[in-house]
Each structure stands twice: as structure tokens, then as C-alpha cells.
Structure 1
């Protein structure tokens, strides 16, 4: 009899793996000005490191997802952690900014392995409401990690510098590598797919043809786009427009993160995740509409903050539900399904982030919030309508 990992270990391990990608992407953001001087380059070239890591995070999930379906979760996870350690050393010894950017792509690919495999492990070990609860925790971490990472990096920036932050990431990689060796395989050999990569391509096509799954991941993608629009705009709105110090900005950023955690956790209490998804998506549209009007009218800070907390709470409600429903309807290809889900989320984040900087940031942020929320609700409606149709069909 194969010994299983404890539920506590699985919970902590999956939680850290989920937060790993956003910390790889965002933790060093407060040190970008110092890196500009270190590499003797422009700020735009230094920011390529952020873009490169997001490209890696999106592409890496498409690689590690099917790989974990074919060879199990443990071996690809160990490979991802070893690759991350190598890439982090590469970043630290880079002598030019382009070398650094190249290693950041590799770092993003490796970080993606942790994200996609963590969701696949959850789908392997749990189902129904248990899966919803586990994904609720993962969703909460997934929502708060991109916000917490820059705050943690800001706390270390002055004393450790950007190299110190990357050494911290290296130590985190060591811990996760040790955890990967301790992890007991969750995907038995009889449940693994064919090792023929032509079949992997066919499985990708089969997953993409699942229209209900596509609706769920596009809902998640647009919701993730709203999250990244907030991450990109909040530093400028709070510090430049409202005049807050970096410390006060961090405090309110943390409060907003708590709103996502609470709502993502609460979503698992719904008897039917479809209901949580619909209410969260509808709430996103309503709150984002008022937030858009408020930002366009140059509202005071407290109106902005209260409405933003409401919007993030609605998004947290949808994260758990969309992840649960998407993976439930593609359980036989959990790795590929999880890969597409995560890749789409980071792709949307990469597209939306620079948009809020066009023109008046208050206006463009409000409009981006509202448009993303409307599309999220549209895909929710299409997914639930299709699920109802299929349920009626199978009753006949």
C-alpha cells in the first residue's frame, strides 16, 4: 500500500505552489528603478523582465499541463523546480539586461509548472464539494499573491536590493524542490494518457472543442484581466492621484487582498458552484458600472476604495466557481485543462495591464473594469445556459 501525504501537507504544498508564479512575476517590482541603474539601461527595457516572465508563465502551463498528464505530477514538478533554480542563478549572474530578460522567460516557464500542476493535483485527489473547497483556497491564494508579492518585495528592497529578492526566490525554490521530492504521486499509471505527443495534440483539440469548458475559462480570463488592471493602476491612482505614501498604499492593497481571500473561500459554501459563479459575475457588472462612473467623475478616495473592495469580492467569488466547473467538465484531461485555464489568465493579464496606462488612468481603468466584467458575465451566461441545455438533454 502506497503511503499518502497528509491533507495538511497537500494544503500547504499546493498553496505555496499556487503563489509561486505571481511571486516570481511581481516580487521584484519595487526594485525596477535600482535595476535600471545597475544594468545602465532604460526603464522600458527593465520592464521587459516582467513581460518576459508573464510570457513564460502562459507558455509554460501549456507545456507542463500535458507533460503531467503523460508522466504523472511528481517528475514534471521536480523538473520545473530544478529549472527554476537554474534560471534564478542565471538572472543573478546576468551582465546585461537582455541576458536577464532571457532568464526571466525560463523562470516564468518553471514557475508555470507549479501553478498548473497544483490545480491538477487538486483535481486528482478531490471531487465535488471537496474539490470546490480546495480550489477555493487555491483561488484565494491566486487572487492575493499578485498583490502580496510587490508588498513583500517592497519590504526587502531597501535592505536586500534586487539581488536579495532573487536569492529569496532561490531559497523558496529549494523548499519547493524538497517538497516535490516528499510529494507522493497523485496520478496513478493507469489514469495517465498515452505518451505519444500526437495524442497530446488531439487531447488539446478535444478540450478546446468543449464549449462549456471554454466559456468557464474565458470568464476566468476576463476576471483575471480585471484583477491585473487593478494591480497595474492602483499604485498610480493611490499614490499619484490620491497622494498616499508607499506604506499607506501597501496597507490598502493588503485590505483589498483580504476581500478576495474571504469571498473566494466563501464561494465553496454554495451548494451549487453555478449559483456562486452567476452571482459573482452579475455583481462584477453592477459594482464595476458604479466604479467606472465614480472614477470618471474623479470621486474621493473612500468611494473608490469601497467600490473596489466590492468588485474584488465579486471576482473572488467567481474564481473558485469557474475553476471548479472548468476542471469538473474536463476531469479526464485535468493537466491540459488546468494549463489552458492558467495560460489564458496570464495572457489576459499581460494584455490588459498596459491598457490602463493609456490616457487618463482614472477613466481607462474604470472602462477596463466595466468591459472585463461585462464579458465575464456574458461567458458565465453562455456556460450556464449550455449546462442547463445538456442537463435537459440527458434527462430525455
Structure 2
């Protein structure tokens, strides 16, 4: 009889796989200027490496999701980890910027495999509140990782350079590869997709016909838009507009990241995941409007920081519950559902990030916050329906009684 992996092992492995993508894309950001000097190229060419990795993270999930439904979780996970190790080595020894950009695309695709399969494994092994609790931890990591990764990279870049950052990523890949070999298959062969190879990706049509699933995914994508708008704008707002140092900015970033993680972990205290998502969306909508008004009015730093902190907390409340609701609604196609969820969210981040740089960054950032928050609110209202919304707006006992 095959021995099952312990819950602790799964929690550690899935958590690391979830943080994989953000660390692949964000950890080397502080070293971009030095990479331009190394490759004797322009900053825009170096930034293409970030763009291609984001494309890889989105596209890779579209492929790895259905493949994991067809062949199980373990084999695609091993393929993804081996591809990551090879692509990272290729990045390290790239001879020119064109090679580096191409290898970053492969690295992003490999990172996508770990992200999409981690959600599918959680769905295979758990259900109901157990699934929500497991995804709470994963959601907390997923919310914190995109913010922590640049901070970690900033602290290490001056000491070890961009090559050192990629050696660290390689070491992380080796650790995850070892964990993947120890991982026991979570999707029995009798539950795998029996479709022919050419029909494997047709499951996307089935998933996309589920209106509630689509609404949950879009809700989370717009919430991610708030996160990526903050990541893209805050270095300029905090350092250039308010005049703080890079170190002070890192501290501010870390505090905000902590609020996201705490919110994602606390969201399971709600009696129903719908209640957590609705409450978080309401908070995002109100806070984004207040923050937009404050930024356009030229508020001082502390008003900006407090409003930003609470806004990100509200956003973090939706991460876990939205993921759980989306995955529960498409349990029969969990690999495909996880792929679409991740791809849409990364695509949203890629679209939103440059928008905050249009015109006055204070005004454009505030407007992006409001648009993303309102769209997120609209999606959850459509998903719940009018009658259910009234029930959940009362938060349905709000917090589970102990």
C-alpha cells in the first residue's frame, strides 16, 4: 500500500511551489541596472526578461493544468522542476541579452507548473473547510511572496549580484525537485481525464461555461490588479514623491506584505468563504476610493500608508476564499480550473502594472485602485446573486463560533 504524504509535508511543499512564481519574476528586480551594464544593453531590453517570465507564468499554467488532469500531478511536477533547473542554468550562462530573455520565458513556464499543480493537489486532498484552511496558508504565501521577493533581492544584490540571485533560485529549484520526488501522487489513475490528446484542452470550454467559476476568477484577478498596481507604483511614490530612502521603503513594503498574509490567514475564521470574499471586496471598494481622493489631494505619507495598509488587508481577505470557491466549483476539472485561475491573475498583473505610470503617478495609481476594486466587487455580486448577496452581506454569523 502506497504511503500517503503527511499534511505538514504537503503544506511545506505546496507553500514553496506557490511562492515559486513571484520569486522567479520579482527577486532579481533590484539587479536590473547592473544586468544592463553586464550585457552592455539598454534598460528596456533587460526589462524584457521580466515580461517574458510573466508570459511564461501565464501560458505555462494553461499547459500544465490540463496535463496534470490527464497524467496525474507528480509527473508534470517533475517535468516542471527539471525544466526550471535547466532554464536557470541557461540564464546564468547566457552570452547575450537575447539568450537571457528567451531562457527567462522557459523559466517562467517551468515556474507555472509548480503554481498550478500546487492548487490542484490541495483540491485533490482536501474539501470544504479543510480545503479553505489549506488554501488560506497558500493564499497568505501567494499574497506575501510578490512583495517579499524584491525586498530579499534588494538586500542580496549588492553582496552577490544578479548571478548570485539566480544561483539562489537554482538552489530553490533543487530543493523543490527533491520534494517532488518524495511527493506521492494525489490523483488516482481512475480519476484522471480519459480524453484523447487532441481533446485534452477542450476542458477549458467546459470550465469557462461555469459562470460562477468565471466570476470568482475575475474577482481574484481584479484583486491581484490592486496588488500589482501597488507593487509597480509604491517605489516611485514612497521614494521619489515622499523622499524616503530605499531602506525605509523596504520596511514599508514588508509591513504591507505582513498585512496581506495576516488577512489571508484570518479569512478562514468566517463561517463561509463567500462572506470573507464579500467583506474584503466591500473594504477594497471603500478604501480605494478614499486612497484615490487622498492621493489626488496630495496627502502626507502617513495617511497614504495607513490607507494602503488597510486596503491591502481587505484585498488579502479575498485571496483564500476566492481560490477555494473557484476550485470547489470546478473540482472535476481542477487542473484546468487552476491553470485558468493562475493565468488570468498573472495576465491581470502584467496589464495593470504599466498603467500606473501613465501621466501623474499619484492620480493614475488611485484611479487604477478604484477601477480594480469596483470590478472585483461587481464580480462577486454577480457570482453570489441578489438573494444570496443579502444573506452573505450579513456575513452569515460573520465569524465562526468556537
What does residue 296 of structure 1 align with?
296
Q: Structure 2: give runs of 5+ residues left out of the alignment.
A: 392-402
Map of 2:227 onto structure 1: 227
CA-CA distance at 1:291 after TM superposition = 0.3
The alpha carbon displacement at 1:321 in A equals 1.0
* 3-state SS, counterpart of residue 2 of structure 2: coil
Report deviation, 1:73: 0.5
User: 1:95 Cα shift?
Assistant: 1.2
Q: CA deviation at 1:223?
A: 0.5
Matched, 1:12 2:12: yes
Task: State how 1:316-335 maps to structure 2 within 5 Å.
Answer: 316-335=316-335
Q: 3-state SS of the aligned residue for 2:244?
A: coil
- Quote the residue 1:93 is aligned against: 93
Contact 1:212–1:386 (Cα < 8 Å) also in 2 = no
Aligned mates of 2:298, 2:63 — CA distance in 1: 44
Partner of 2:181: 181
| Counterpart residue number, 1:286 | 286
Assess if the C-alpha contact under 8 Å between 2:66 and 2:201 holds in 1. Answer: no
TM-score (norm 2): 0.95
* Residue 103 (structure 1) aligns with: 103
Task: Quote how far apart the aligned CAs of 1:191 are.
Answer: 0.8
Instruction: Tell me if the contact between 2:80 and 2:113 (Cα under 8 Å) persists in the aligned partners.
Output: yes
Q: Does residue 1:265 correspond to 2:265, yes or no?
A: yes
CA contact (8 A) 2:220 2:345 kept: yes
Deviates more, 1:198-207 or 1:250-259: 198-207
Corresponding residue SS for 1:377: helix
Contact 2:218 2:379 survives alignment (8 Å):
yes
The 3-state SS of whatever aligns with 1:322 is helix
Q: Which residue of 1 aligns with 2:353?
A: 353
Q: Please name the residue that 1:203 is paired with.
A: 203
**What is the distance in 2 between the residues matched to 1:236 and 1:27?**
18
What is the distance in 2 between the residues matched to 1:388 and 1:271?
15
Which whole-Å CA distance do the structure 1 matches of 2:137 and 2:171 have between them? 24
Q: 3-state SS of the aligned residue for 1:354? A: helix
1:45 match: 45
1:168 aligns with 2:134: no
The superposition leaves residues 203-232 of structure 1 with CA deviations (integer Å, 9 ceiling, x where unpaired) of: 110001001100000001111011000000
In structure 2, how many angstroms separate the alpha carbons of the residues matched to 1:202 and 1:159? 48
Where does structure 1 lack aligned partners over 5 or more consecutive residues?
392-396
Q: Which residue of 1 aligns with 2:73?
A: 73
Contact (CA 8 Å) 1:212, 1:387: kept in 2 or not? Answer: no
Alpha-carbon distance between aligned partners in 2 of 1:151 and 1:64, rounded to the nearest angstrom: 29
What SS class does the counterpart of residue 187 from structure 1 fall into? coil
Q: CA deviation at 1:92?
A: 0.8
CA RMSD of aligned residues (A): 1.2
Q: How far apart are 1:237 and its partner, in Å? A: 0.6
Per the TM alignment, residue 387 of structure 1 is displaced from its structure 2 partner at its CA by: 9.1
- C-alpha deviation, 1:158, in angstroms: 0.7
Q: CA deviation at 1:243?
A: 1.0
Q: Is the 8 A contact 1:218 1:379 kept in 2?
A: yes
**Is the alpha carbon distance of 1:387 and 1:81 closer, same or farther for their aligned partners in structure 2, counting shifts above 3 Å?**
farther
How does the TM-score come out when normalised to structure 1? 0.97
Aligned partner of 1:394 in structure 2 is none
* 8 Å contact kept, 1:68–1:335: yes
